[in-house]
Amino acid sequence: MELFNIDFMIRLIVAAALGFALGLERELTNKYAGLRTHILVCLGACIFTLLSIYGFPTFAAGDNVIVEQATGIRDTARVAAQIVTGIGFIGAGTVLRNGPIVIGLTTAATLWIAASIGMACGAGMYDVAIVSTILSVAVLTLIRVFERQFLPTGSKQVKRYKIAVYCSYEDVKKIYDYVISKVDDMKDFTAKKLIENPNKSKVTISFEVNNKKIVDEIYDWLNNTTDTDSVSLQELND
């Protein structure tokens, strides 16, 4: 028995590469499940599929000796089938609900797709896996552009953003006044003094807007006008 099955190694490497391609888009858009999660989901699904197909051969008894059967009746999908159910637990962890707003559905769907791509790699169906990855990345990127350019402005166009700012305590009120003047729907504004430095505060702001330009203006203002140590911006929608 050979130590490394080259065909299996190729399937695992392709699964990891395609998981990387799918997770890269999520990582670049700052989602909860990014590169590592998608790579591991895709790779894990590939491993389980390989085990399901090749890891459990059938056995038969003959002349008081148990021998491995080259053929026999067995369900090669019994392990792989559980991936479809099991991935739901991971996907559910990325879905958050805040009032009427549900966040993370698209990320959960990409994890589901990543698992299916990994299964395709494990089964040696490289054409299905590669085309599915290309189509998935196209949907995540091009459809977003289509929605913004051609669909009418509505509730779905409203995006929720979260900004975390480490700044001097004196700047907290100035930040609040500026943000409240720029957005009509501020969901949360909290300021906490840092234990290690009472003169510094961590400000967390959540708000909804339908114009990305406003978000850019706030981000630039925080970086260039106030005495900030760091500013992080996160889009909370899919």
Quick: pLDDT tens for 37-51: 999 999 999 999 998
Count of structural domains, the chain: 2
- Whether 145 and 159 map to the same domain: the answer is no
Alpha-carbon span 168 to 176, nearest angstrom = 13
Return the amino acid letter for 189: F
pLDDT score for 31:
76
Using 50, 70 and 90 to split pLDDT, how confident is the model at 16?
very high
Q: What is the DSSP string of 113-130?
A: HHHHHHHHHHTT-HHHHH
All residues at 6 or more sequence positions from 203 whose CB lies less than 8 Å from its CB, including other chains: 163, 164, 165, 166, 167, 172, 175, 189, 190, 191
Which of 150, 179, 210 is a domain's end point?
150
Contact 95, 108 (CB under 8 A): yes
Expressed as residue numbers, the domain containing 31 is 6-150
CATH of the domain at 174: 3.30.70.260
Give tens-digit pLDDT for 130-175: 999 999 999 988 887 787 677 655 545 677 888 999 988 888 889 9
Of 215, 195, 216, 192, the closest CA to residue 204 belongs to: 192
- Return all residues near 45 (Cβ < 8 A) that are at least 6 apart: 15, 80, 83, 87, 114, 115, 116, 117, 118, 119, 122
Question: Tens digit of pLDDT for each residue in 57-90?
Answer: 665 445 554 444 444 456 777 777 888 888 888 8
User: Residue 117 falls within a domain, yes or no?
Assistant: yes
Mean predicted confidence (pLDDT) in 165-193: 87
Pairing status of strand 200-209 against strand 159-168: antiparallel
Domain membership of residue 1 (yes or no) is no
Single out the residue in 131, 150, 169 at which a domain terminates: 150
Looking at per-residue confidence, does 43 or 103 come out higher?
43
Domain end among 107, 124, 150:
150
216 and 123 both lie in a single domain: no
pLDDT at 97 > cutoff 90 = no
How far is 113 from 227, CA to CA, in rounded Å? 44
- In a domain, residue 176? The reply is yes
Indicate the pTM of the whole model.
0.62
Highest mean pLDDT among 25-39, 103-117, 138-152: 103-117
Same domain membership, residue 192 and residue 136: no
pLDDT-derived band of residue 2, with 50, 70 and 90 as boundaries?
Answer: low
